[in-house]
Amino acid sequence: MIRAILSMAILLGSTVFVNAQTVCTRSMLQAAADSYIAAQKAGDLSKMSLDPKVKFIENMSDTAKEKGLWNTALPIALSHSIYDVGRCKTFSEVIVTEGKPYVIGTRLTVKDGKITEIDSLVTKEGDWLFNPNDYLKYSSADDWSVLPVDDRVGRQQLIDAGNQYFDFVFMDKGIRPPWGTPCARLEGGAYTNKSGEYKDTCQIPAPLGNMYIINRSYVVDEEMGAINVFCRFGGATGMPDSHLFRLVNGRYRWIHTLSVNLTGKPVVVPKAPPKE
């Protein structure tokens, strides 16, 4: 009996220790994202608290630490981040307009205060609708502040909203995404609501064609009403893509997209079959 009690005490103690070691907080994620921005500005990864076994990914391919763009000092014009406390991940959008321009979407995975993965999508000249000056102009006007509690929705509803957008645009017009007004899409630099029309809903005539959007993964920030989706367009070797959605009262308000054209050729969406 005593041995059983001691064993249970050791087990419970171990569980408490493990939980303490894997706690994740918003402030921890903010510090990690801030350190990434500082490192990218300096081109110096030593400004980040990296796990010894940190994994590096760029444009959805594993890469070596010394080969990624994070080693290049960039004059960042604007950045903003979202924080997924549930999965201990961040997503940062980074805009560079001086020198060689870029618009970058970077995810960090954090464990016990250490960054275990850096995952960047890097868009530049030749990528889908790339225009960093307009991306900066319109992104600067967007509001990514924390939402009042009454304007928020839950994690699953945010994930559903991201999936519904893709499924409606590329597959099934019967899907009912949560279109909101006003709304604006920012795609590489192309903006859909330049005049600030209150009635703009972001809705696209759909489906544009039959294209599978695969390998979807999510960073969700309920406090900001934001979800970032990393995915590939069209197949396992398709175009790496990032869609960042902001929802207010459960409806789209801003949609930002970054798409990396690995082929250098124009992106073609297969036409939908004619109606019978």
Distance in angstroms (rounded) separating the CA atoms of residues 219 and 89: 7
Q: pLDDT-derived band of residue 206, with 50, 70 and 90 as boundaries?
A: confident
pLDDT digits (tens, 9 = 90+) for 182-194: 999 999 999 998 8
Q: Between 49 and 12, where is the model more confident? A: 49
Contact status, residue 219 vs residue 91, Cβ threshold 8 Å? yes
**Rg of the chain's alpha carbons, rounded to an integer?**
20
Q: How far is CA 93 from the centre of its chain?
A: 8
Question: What is the predicted pLDDT for the residue at 7?
Answer: 45
Question: What is the predicted pLDDT for the residue at 273?
Answer: 53
Domains in the chain: boundaries: 26-141, 149-259
User: pLDDT at residue 26 above 60?
Assistant: yes
Written in H, E and C, the secondary structure of 72-90 is: CCCCEEEEEEEEECCCCEE
Do the domains spanning 26-141 and 149-259 agree at the CATH topology level? Answer: yes
CATH number, domain 26-141, options 3.10.450.50, 3.20.20.80, 3.40.50.300, 3.50.50.100: 3.10.450.50
Please tell me whether the overall predicted TM-score, pTM, comes out greater than 0.85 for this model: yes
pLDDT digits (tens, 9 = 90+) for 131-171: 999 999 999 999 999 999 999 999 999 999 999 999 999 88
Written in H, E and C, the secondary structure of 222-249 is: CCCCEEEEEEEECCCCCEEEEEEEEEEC
Helical residues (DSSP H) of the chain, grouped into ranges? 2-21, 26-42, 132-141, 155-170
E strands, 179-273, are 184-187, 190-191, 213-221, 226-233, 239-248, 251-259
Mean pLDDT of 48-75: 96
Distance in angstroms (rounded) separating the CA atoms of residues 184 and 105: 19
- Architecture in CATH of 149-259: Roll (3.10)
